[in-house]
Amino acid sequence: MATTYQLPKWGLTMEEGTIAEQRVLPGAVVKEGEVIGSVETDKIEIDFNSPASGVLAAWLVNEGDTIPVGTDVVVIADDEADYQSYLQGLQV
């Protein structure tokens, strides 16, 4: 099942972050903990690691977007079949 993951709160005062870079494109196999992008906050730039192993199904935000903590950022599918199912669901 494809799962959506949110922008985490990395510091006590963090309220938002800017998607600085998307390093992995949809369709790529990722491992939990692998760097898939980076986020700039008011204090630092930090790597955004894949929260799960599977197939990166979609980025839900664009590079340069500034979003609040808790915003859905990425969808990770369990495997290739789950990824294809996710894509078919988008076409309905």
59-71 pLDDT, tens digit each: 999 999 999 999 9
Q: What is the pLDDT of residue 11?
A: 85
How far apart CA 92 and CA 52 sit, in angstroms, is 26
Report the predicted TM-score, pTM, of the whole model to 2 decimal places. 0.89
Q: What is the pLDDT of residue 91?
A: 62
How far apart CA 21 and CA 56 sit, in angstroms, is 15
Domains present along the chain, CATH in parentheses: 3-91 (2.40.50.100)
Sign of CA dihedral 22, 23, 27, 29: negative
**Does residue 52 surpass a pLDDT of 80?**
yes
| CB proximity list for 54: less than 8 A, separation 6 or greater | 29, 30, 76, 77, 78, 79, 82, 83
How far apart are the two ends of the chain, measured CA to CA in Å?
17
**Does residue 43 surpass a pLDDT of 90?**
no
